[in-house]
């Protein structure tokens, strides 16, 4: 009963296919998500998509891939923050981004942590989402 009430109260958050797209074992049904999990997966989808990657939605995505192999400094932090805010403003209408911060977790491995603080437009409930972003790909290759 408690779970049913929670689902009804959060139905405005939407539901959809899980990302990445998965099928359940046994009955081969498509996995779906709803509520906060669905929004977090939608944020990941926006941030992982290159600009122009979708033929019929060329403005969808964040373009974070343009920051690969860049010098990890304050300028890069500002550019990432800007790209995240603009992409979520245009591509995720269910939330309002309150704050975005970037921390360089492991400079040697090129790992940056993007922390997004947002609120649901319908209820003004505040939430956080952490997105790990690797600035250097293939650093584990032997030299």
Residue 84: Cβ within 10 Å count: 24
Place of tokens 């939608």: 42
Residue-wise pLDDT tens digits, 88-113: 999 998 899 999 999 999 888 889 99
Evaluate the omega torsion of the peptide bond into residue 111 and state whether it is cis, within 30 degrees of 0. Answer: no
Per-position pLDDT tens, the chain of length 143: 344 444 444 555 566 666 666 777 777 777 777 678 788 888 998 999 999 998 999 999 999 999 998 999 999 999 999 999 999 999 998 899 999 999 999 888 889 999 999 998 877 677 778 887 776 665 554 44
| Phi, psi (degrees; rounded to nearest 5) at 2 | -60, -40
pLDDT for residue 91: 94
pLDDT for residue 3: 46
- pTM equals 0.73
Can you tell me the distance from the alpha carbon of 3 to that of 68, in angstroms, rounded to the nearest whole number? 42
Identify the structural domains of the chain with CATH numbers, from first to last. Answer: 2-134 (3.10.450.40)
Choose among 72, 43, 61, 49: nearest CA to 139: 72
pLDDT for residue 78: 96
């Amino acid at each position: 009963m408690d779970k049913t009430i929670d689902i009804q109260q959060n139905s405005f958050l939407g539901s959809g296919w899980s990302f990445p797209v998965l099928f359940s074992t046994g009955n081969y049904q498509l996995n779906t998500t709803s509520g906060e999990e669905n929004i977090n997966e939608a944020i990941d989808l926006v941030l992982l998509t290159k600009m122009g990657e979708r033929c019929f939605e060329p403005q969808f995505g964040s373009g974070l891939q343009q920051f690969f192999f860049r010098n990890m400094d304050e300028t890069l932090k500002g550019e990432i923050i800007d790209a995240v805010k603009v992409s979520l403003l245009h591509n995720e209408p269910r939330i309002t981004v309150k704050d975005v911060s970037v921390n360089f977790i492991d400079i040697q491995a090129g790992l940056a942590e993007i922390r997004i603080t947002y609120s649901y437009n319908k209820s003004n409930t505040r939430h956080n989402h952490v997105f790990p972003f690797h600035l250097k790909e293939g650093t584990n290759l032997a030299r």
